[in-house]
A and B are shown apart, each in its own frame.
Chain A
Amino acid sequence: MNTFKIGVSRGNLEIRQFLRQRESVVFTLLFPVLLLLIFGSVFKNTIAPGVTFSQYFVAGMIASGLINTGFQQLAIMIPLERDDGTLKRLRGTPMPPTSYFIGKILSVLACMIVQIVLLLVVGALMFGVQLPTDLGRWVTFTWVTLLGITGSTLLGIAFSSVPRSGRGASAMVTPIVLVLQFISGVFFIFNQLPSWMQNVASIFPLKWLTQGMRSVFLPESFASQEVAKSWEHGRVALMLTIWIVIGLVLALKTFRWERSR
């Protein structure tokens, strides 16, 4: 219980720090909205009966928002905290290590909620994105988001041990996320990609997240446009769960409190 309370206190501190770094606020929260404004305004075409590209793009951006606020943010921030001594200082206090991760999860969660709301509001007001009205879709939205945010956070913590220094982290992590966005059905329509690219993307979680989000925000009829001719909820859940397990094992095995000597 104390571990959780301290975790909440950490979350509060993390969110405060996040909001005070103007670059991170702009890049993490506003950049996806900016992309939506640009892509939504340029590609006004209809990609299937009753589905515009901007609707498709909103679903993809919400999915990749889970990767941005979790994986990308943590894989860049934790190496910086390792370099500047934040982690070493915390390790020297009686703070339970789990509380540190609870704090990270809470700040990721807060950031993600703000980002999803921003994308939905802009999408609904400017590009005719329709919010689901039936309960079933909101249930889908909830479990896809929860699995996504859990996996994304754990993989971010795991990946934070890869960059040798805080300075190099951003250059290492950003291209990975960008490539995944290109091949997983965010910037391009997934069923139009070459099949080898689809196969590569199917290994990684973002493809399954975008598919899950499309099942929430696009009409039921669009399911037939998917590569498998269905939303594949079972496989979405399975793949995301596998990545959660991989992330958890790697995070536990590789996490370091100090930069390597």
Chain B
Amino acid sequence: MNTGVHTGVNNAVEIRGLIKTYGETHAVAGVDLDVRTGEVFALLGPNGAGKTTTIEILEGYRDRDGGTVSVLGEDPSKAGLAWRNKIGIVLQSNNDAAEITVEEILNFFSDYYVNPRNVDEVINAVGLEEKRKARGRELSGGQRRRLDVALGILGNPELLFLDEPTTGFDPEARRAFWDLIRGLRADGTTILLTTHYLDEAEALADRVGVINHGRIIEVATPATLGGRDSAKVIVRWSENGSAQEERTDSPTEFLRSLGTRFTGEIPDLTVSRPTLEDIYISMIEGQG
């Protein structure tokens, strides 16, 4: 099994044996993980699996109880402001900046960075042009989230953390957000994201890691996770008035023989491979 550890390559994030306990609970129970420079890595897992704890240790918000962590070559628990200048953080929900407008907060925050992006460009990138004069409390949930993302990318980060970035987005906004992330990736930004949307992980991530009960279960590309590429293909059709299903390793051959049983089109024919979500659910359920 691929454990996600690749020594020797240029990694933006390297985690070895990470442990974090809250009282009796092992929130993170020995995580090894690498995020390669320039990739989009999605960390998947149910609520309480240790995603946010892991990410917040990488962001320098939390101390760890064991293991080693390197983020852009530094230990986040000791790293200074120069290191913070190179990372961007999009946290889970905030309600701050109630009385300041979108363009004001971006202008003020760009004072904190050495090499900030142009504020107008950032506003356009997240699609808040029409809300640039709106105050924080006047934004909808999805618009607020886009402001969070805008503040996260404002400093031109080498490494961007996105903790459930598209919660509350409508489908159109989500697509626009995906384009934004692809653009950042094309510019060389390394992105570590957590999400509950498996289609989002599939659309964006070069690699995904599944975490449960504080441990990494598997790291792979979205196409190969959990043996997805070698899983049987499901063929569904209708015959004699009832739904039929066949799981096969050789769908083309099966379809040829199936086709001979019908004079015209095969009714209600679908041919599908398991989705990332199917694979993910079976991995998590298999863990109990």
Interface check B89, CB cutoff 8 A: yes
Contacts of B196 on A, CB cut-off 8 Å? none
Contacts of B93 on A, CB cut-off 8 Å? 85
Interface check B108, CB cutoff 8 A: yes
A94-B113 contact, Cβ under 8 Å, with A16-B100, A16-B104, A89-B151: yes
Q: How far is the CA of A258 from the CA of B109 in the complex (A)?
A: 19
Interface check B270, CB cutoff 8 A: no
Interface check B16, CB cutoff 8 A: no
- Judging by beta carbons under 8 Å apart, are A17 and B99 in contact? yes
Interface check A92, CB cutoff 8 A: yes
Interface check A259, CB cutoff 8 A: no
- Judging by beta carbons under 8 Å apart, are A94 and B84 in contact? yes
List residues of A whose CB falls within 8 A of some B CB: 5-6, 9-10, 12-13, 16-17, 20-21, 81, 84-86, 88-89, 91-96, 258, 261
Task: State the Cβ distance, A79 to closest chain B Cβ, in Å.
Answer: 13
- Judging by beta carbons under 8 Å apart, are B91 and A94 in contact? no
Option from A12, A21, A89 in Cβ contact (under 8 Å) with B94: A89
Q: How far is the CA of A261 from the CA of B114 in the complex (A)?
A: 33
A6-B111 contact, Cβ under 8 Å, with A16-B104, A85-B94, A89-B94: yes
A94-B94 contact, Cβ under 8 Å, with A5-B111, A6-B111, A17-B99: no
A89-B100 contact, Cβ under 8 Å, with A6-B112, A94-B81, A94-B155: no
A89-B91 contact, Cβ under 8 Å, with A17-B99, A94-B82, A94-B155: yes
Q: How far is the CA of A5 from the CA of B113 in the complex (A)?
A: 12
- Judging by beta carbons under 8 Å apart, are B113 and A13 in contact? no
Contacts of B109 on A, CB cut-off 8 Å? 93
Interface check B85, CB cutoff 8 A: yes
* Besides the known contacts A6-B112, A89-B94, 7 further A-B residue pairs in the complex with CB atoms under 8 A apart: A16-B99, A16-B100, A81-B96, A85-B95, A89-B151, A94-B81, A95-B112
Option from B81, B91, B96, B98 in Cβ contact (under 8 Å) with A96: B81
Option from A10, A84, A95 in Cβ contact (under 8 Å) with B96: A84
A92-B89 contact, Cβ under 8 Å, with A9-B108, A20-B99, A86-B96: yes
Q: How far is the CA of A86 from the CA of B94 in the complex (A)?
A: 8
List residues of B whose CB falls within 8 A of some A CB: 22, 59-61, 81-82, 84-85, 87, 89, 91, 93-100, 104-105, 108-109, 111-114, 135, 151, 155
- Judging by beta carbons under 8 Å apart, are B100 and A94 in contact? no
In chain B, what residue has the closest Cβ to A13? B108
Tally A-B pairs: CB < 8 A.
67
A91-B108 contact, Cβ under 8 Å, with A17-B99, A85-B94: no
A88-B112 contact, Cβ under 8 Å, with A21-B99, A93-B155: no
Contacts of B112 on A, CB cut-off 8 Å? 6, 93-95
Contacts of A261 on B, CB cut-off 8 Å? 22
Q: Give the 7 A-B CB pairs with smallest separation, nearest first.
A: A85-B94, A86-B96, A92-B89, A20-B99, A95-B112, A94-B84, A94-B85
Contacts of B99 on A, CB cut-off 8 Å? 16-17, 20-21
A258-B61 contact, Cβ under 8 Å, with A16-B100, A95-B112: yes
Q: List 26 A-B contacts (CB under 8 A).
A: A6-B111, A6-B112, A12-B108, A13-B104, A16-B104, A17-B99, A20-B99, A20-B100, A20-B135, A84-B95, A85-B91, A85-B95, A86-B94, A86-B96, A88-B61, A88-B94, A89-B91, A89-B151, A91-B61, A92-B60, A92-B61, A92-B89, A93-B109, A93-B113, A95-B81, A261-B22
- Judging by beta carbons under 8 Å apart, are A9 and B94 in contact? no
Contacts of B82 on A, CB cut-off 8 Å? 94
Contacts of B59 on A, CB cut-off 8 Å? 92
Contacts of B135 on A, CB cut-off 8 Å? 20
Q: How far is the CA of A96 from the CA of B84 in the complex (A)?
A: 10
Task: State the Cβ distance, A12 to closest chain B Cβ, in Å.
Answer: 8
Contacts of A96 on B, CB cut-off 8 Å? 81
Q: How far is the CA of A118 from the CA of B25 in the complex (A)?
A: 56
Task: State the Cβ distance, A7 to closest chain B Cβ, in Å.
Answer: 10
Contacts of B111 on A, CB cut-off 8 Å? 5-6, 9
Option from B22, B87, B96, B104 in Cβ contact (under 8 Å) with A89: B96
Task: State the Cβ distance, A76 to closest chain B Cβ, in Å.
Answer: 15
Contacts of B94 on A, CB cut-off 8 Å? 84-86, 88-89
